[in-house]
A and B are shown apart, each in its own frame.
Chain A
Amino acid sequence: MKKINSFEELEKLRKKLKGIKDKEKIIISVCMETGCIAAGSEEIYRELRKEIKKVKNKEIKVIKTGCHGFSEVDPAIVIYPEKIFYIRLSPNDVKEIIEKTIKKGEIVERLTYKDEKGQIIPYLDQIPFYKKQKRLVLSLNGLIDPENIEDYIYYGGYTALSKVLSGMSPEEVIEEIKKSGLRGRGGGGFPTGKKWEYCRKAEGYPKYVICNADEGDPGAFMDRSVIEGNPHSVIEGMIIGAYAIGSNEGYVYIRHEYPLALKRLKIAIEQAREYGFLGENILGSGFSFDIDIVRGGGAFVCGESTALMASIEGKVGEPRAKYIHTVEKGLYEKPTCLNNVETWANVPFIINNGWEKFAEIGTDTSKGTKIFSLVGKVKNTGLVEVPMGITLREIIFDIGGGIKENKKFKGVQTGGPSGGVIPEKYLDLPVDFDRLNEVGSMMGSGGMIVMDEDTCMVDVARYFLNFLKEESCGKCVPCREGINQMLEILNRITQGKGKKEDIEILKEISDFMQKASLCALGTTAPNPVLTTITYFYDEYINHIEQKKCSAGVCKDLIEYFVNTEKCTGCTLCAKNCPVNAIEGERKKIHKINKEKCIKCGICFTICKFNAIERK
């Protein structure tokens, strides 16, 4: 491909692509990102390619795309233009799909989604999971091949860049973003336009733009999905941002735990360079900008801006004081504008459609949409993009379909280790930056982990502190030693050795860490502890006073034993015990060897006669 040298050439290319693509009458899109591949979508894709070749019809095309979001039903395919949605496929299903749907236009009912009542819903848009969603950032996920820049261009990619470079001043771009009300999607929710403005006005050169793709919050994978499904939207956003602040150099800092996202991003950047969207004199505008990829090293703390920048500089990811902001003194002590993946990916939409279109979505203080990864004990796990202001109930029960196995909802964790657990009484809370803060949690990057009656809230608090103990850089005393002491206390409580005054001490250390820690990892670390103490106080008391874990999670407080009246000696439990802790001959009552038992609960779930009990 020859480099595109002007805005006109870009439009010419788009027209040419239209000519080609409009001939593709049927597109079968196979979702191929980390999650779907793990579920087996590669095999489906291969089989489809093989079988389609036999059909010999150039109007049918099989493409691999980013995720459609409904991970629960992977591997799945979407057949365009009708958007027929086939789920939980195996390679054996492919022949039938070709014979019936592709050749005759019939629906294969057994492969469609069925709702609670068993009603068949063959079309993607009619599935409850998608009904309340509003897909701006994810609009092209599932529609384009992320490894083919021409797909992106065909669907209007790089028009925003073209618009900016051909007729907007940097100040106008900043004004547009400011008016849109876009706030940083990485956690804190700082107004993006303001950040750009500060950085533009800051003295010093070079200036840098950085894309934070170090999505570290456990339970969050929005950014991975955006990069794996539509990497050019991020690149385009970055180029526009760079133009606005006056930068010619950018970095994407991406987690090393995301090999596929890294690969697709590399391909995308190379293609963008080849087509002339990156490099010298972009689209003949005179503006130059390029992007380098830096792989993270596996450190959660590098999601913190100063630690991330230290890491790019080739140092240990240790945060430093931010009394002078990074927009003024960031990477290599130069003005730096850092936004996360989702924030950058929102930029092209705002430029293309105008700030009004963006600002009309959302609440007073939080505009646009937000992507959440809806996971945990919810029926429909996956990636959802919803307008700001939607309630938690709508997300969890309407989109998510409620709790798995119809158990009781207990809480939803947002904001990762910096956030908190929100209880049932706030299910009707409209989701936006400020409302989540008000109840002690935060938006964070968008992980939403649903918890049911089998989740122990003391264990959740302990889990996050254990996570942070491993992820704190260890530089400042409050974070390093504070987490350690809090974790010791929580470990004691989950072992049934807690004292009532422990709760007060946890609160005291929390308050101290919020005030005295060096970076946000430390100041927000107490949130999971504080919210669980506030909303699930009884559970703490239960552990401390009754030495009981009602959820049956804390191992030291539970015991499995065989109900001798119910045991039939079927040996099923003994066969399935991974540590051979169950003894007993066929047709004789079995016994659990307490010394060997690791309390994994497999026997408990597997016994057909409910003969294994938990105390």
Chain B
Amino acid sequence: MRKLEVDKILEKNGWSKNKIVGILQDIQDSYSYLPEDILIYISEKLNIPLSQIYSISTFYRAFSLKPKGKYRIKVCLGTACHVRGGYMIAEFLKNKFGILPGETTEDGLFSFDTVNCLGACAIGPIVVINEKYYGQMDVRKTEKIIKGLENEKNKQF
């Protein structure tokens, strides 16, 4: 039952209203997005207006109201990555998947986000796929990795 899991998260954060951002982080970590029913549940449990939770959920980039794909690709657009051509990787993925940053492919396999600096600038441009960092990337290397992931999926079926 989801409520139990959510209660655990609320317990961990001391059922504290002030910790709402942290609570939402934990929910995001557990579900890879913020499910609406859970947000309503938290609003009732902690007596925080739903509007405030919605406001926070859409303000911070860490949160998503939609489920993310199996492979979550983040392209760093920090300055160091930008001057080394990181934006081209983002451009390429837009074309490749036909989606905008923040969206997920229809088959649910890939979601793609841009981030404003991951702080690993020395090895930029950086691409992160499910928490694994890839340094010194370019369009070609990105394409290869994506192809690999697509093949992996085909193997499974």
A314 touches B122 (CB 8 A): no
Q: Mark B48-88, 1 if CB is under 8 A from A, else 0.
A: 00001001100111110000000000000111101111001
Whether the Cβ atoms of A376 and B117 lie closer than 8 Å is no
| Nearest CB in chain A to that of B63: its residue | A297
Question: Does B151 reach chain A (CB closer than 8 Å)?
Answer: no
Which of B59, B117, B121 is the one whose CB lies under 8 Å from A257?
B117
Closest to B135 in A: A38
Q: A259-B131, A298-B62, A598-B92 are in contact. Are A215 and B119 (CB under 8 A)?
A: yes
Bound together, the chains give a CA A300 to CA B126 distance in angstroms of 19
Residue-wise interface mask of B (118-141) relative to A, using a CB-CB cutoff of 8 A (1 in contact, 0 not):
111111101000010111001110
Interface residue? A463 (CB, 8 A): yes
Using Cβ atoms and an 8 Å threshold, which residues of chain A touch B52? 315
Kindly list chain B residues whose C-beta atoms are within 8 Å of the C-beta of A217: 117
User: What residues of chain B lie closer than 8 Å to A455, measured between beta carbons?
Assistant: 83
Interface residues of A in 582-603 (CB under 8 A from B): 598, 600-602
Residues of A281-324 whose CB lies within 8 A of B: 294-300, 311-317
> Which of B25, B62, B80, B140 is within 8 Å of A375, CB to CB?
B80
- Tell me the bound Cα distance from A416 to B116 in angstroms: 11
B30 partner residues in chain A, CB cutoff 8 A: none
Determine if B140 and A602 form an interchain contact, defined as CB atoms under 8 angstroms apart.
Answer: yes
Closest to A299 in B: B60
Which residue on B lies nearest to A605, using beta carbons?
A: B138
Given known pairs A471-B116, A598-B91, the reply for A451 and B131 (CB within 8 Å) is: no
Interface string of B19-55 (1 = CB under 8 A from A): 1111011000000000000000000000000001001
Once bound together, how far apart are the Cα atoms of A454 and B20, in whole Å?
45
Residue A510 lies at the interface, judged by CB distance under 8 Å to chain B:
no
B58, closest chain A residue (CB):
A316
Decide if A34 touches B60 in the complex (CB within 8 Å): no
A417 to B122, CA, bound (A): 18
When distances are taken between beta carbons in the complex, the residues of chain B under 8 Å from A221 are 119-122
CA distance A598 to B21 in the complex (A): 39
A549 to chain B, nearest CB (A): 14
CA A382 to CA B78, docked complex, whole Å: 15
Determine whether A401 belongs to the interface, using a CB cutoff of 8 Å to chain B. Answer: no
Complex: how many Å from CA A100 to CA B16? 58
A576 to B140, CA, bound (A): 7
**Shortest beta-carbon distance from A605 to chain B in Å:** 9
Contact partner, B79, options A299, A449, A470, Cβ 8 Å: A449
Taking a contact as CB atoms under 8 Å apart, the answer to whether B123 and A602 are in contact is no
- Cα distance A373–B124 in the bound complex, in angstroms: 13
Residue-by-residue, is B75-113 near A (CB-CB < 8 Å gives 1, otherwise 0)? 001111011110010011001100000000000000000
| Shortest beta-carbon distance from B105 to chain A in Å | 17
User: Contacts A299-B60, A600-B139, A602-B140; is A218 near B17 (CB within 8 Å)?
Assistant: no
Supposing A297-B63, A598-B91 touch, asked if A71 and B119 sit within 8 A by C-beta, the answer is: no
Quick check: B117 and A314 within 8 Å, CB to CB? no
Contacts of B85 in A (CB 8 A): 600-601
Taking the nearest CB of chain B, how far is it from the CB of A211, in angstroms? 16
Quick check: A375 and B117 within 8 Å, CB to CB? no
Known A218-B116, A295-B21, A295-B22; contact A35-B140, beta-carbon cutoff 8 A? no
Partner of A316, one of B55, B88, B118, B138: B55
Tell me the minimal C-beta distance from A401 to chain B in angstroms. Answer: 13
A218/B78 contact (C-beta < 8 A), A373-B122, A598-B91 known: yes
| Residues B80 and A219 in contact, CB atoms below 8 Å apart | yes
**Residues in chain A near residue B139, CB distance under 8 A:** 578, 600, 602
Residue of B at shortest CB range from A224? Answer: B119
Known: A297-B61, A316-B56. A601 touches B122 (CB 8 A): no
Is A467 an interface residue when CB atoms closer than 8 A count as contact? yes
Q: Contact at B60–A578, with CB atoms within 8 Å?
A: no
Task: Report A473 CB to chain B, min CB distance, Å.
Answer: 8
Chain B residues with CB under 8 A of A37: 133
Known pairs A449-B80, A471-B116, A578-B140; A294 contacts B22 (CB<8 A): yes
Report the separation of the CA atoms of residues A220 and B80 in the bound assembly, to the nearest whole angstrom: 9
A524, CB-defined interface residue at 8 Å: no
Q: Are B115 and A257 in contact (CB under 8 A)?
A: yes
Asked if A39 meets B59 with Cβ closer than 8 Å, knowing A220-B117, A257-B117, the reply is no
Partner among B16, B61, B135 whose Cβ is within 8 Å of the Cβ of A299: B61
Find out whether the CB atom of B117 lies under 8 angstroms from the CB atom of A219.
Answer: yes
Residue contact A381 to B61, C-beta cutoff 8 Å: no
A473→B60 CA distance, assembly (Å) = 10
Shortest Cβ gap from A50 to chain B (Å): 22
Residues of B within 8 A of A38 (CB): 120, 123, 126, 133-135
Taking a contact as CB atoms under 8 Å apart, the answer to whether B60 and A314 are in contact is no
List B contacts of A464 (CB < 8 A): 79
Contact check: which of A256, A449, A578 meets B143 at CB < 8 Å? Answer: A578
With contacts A256-B62, A294-B21, A602-B139 taken as known, whether A470 is within 8 angstroms of B120 at the C-beta atoms is no
- Provide the A479-492 mask, 1 if CB < 8 A to any CB of B, else 0: 00000000000000
Which chain A positions have C-beta within 8 A of B140? 576, 578, 602
Which residues does chain A contribute within 8 Å of B118, judged by CB atoms?
Answer: 34, 257
Known contacts A294-B22, A311-B21, A317-B59; is-contact A375 B124 (Cβ 8 Å): yes
B21 touches A297 (CB 8 A): yes
CA distance in complex: A317, B63 (Å): 14
Query: Closest CB of chain A to B34's CB: distance in Å?
Result: 11
Chain A contact residues, CB within 8 Å of chain B = 34-35, 37-39, 71-72, 74, 215-221, 224, 255-259, 294-300, 311-317, 373, 375-377, 381-383, 413, 416, 447, 449, 451, 455, 460, 463-464, 467, 470-471, 473, 576, 578-579, 598, 600-602
User: 25 A–B contact pairs at CB < 8 A?
Assistant: A37-B133, A39-B123, A74-B122, A218-B116, A221-B120, A255-B119, A257-B115, A297-B24, A297-B25, A314-B56, A316-B56, A317-B59, A317-B60, A376-B79, A381-B121, A382-B122, A413-B79, A416-B79, A447-B121, A449-B121, A463-B79, A467-B116, A578-B139, A598-B88, A601-B88
Apart from A218-B116, A463-B79: 20 A-B pairs, beta carbons within 8 A = A34-B133, A38-B120, A39-B135, A219-B79, A221-B121, A256-B62, A297-B25, A297-B61, A298-B115, A299-B61, A300-B116, A313-B18, A314-B16, A317-B60, A375-B122, A381-B123, A449-B83, A578-B140, A578-B143, A602-B139
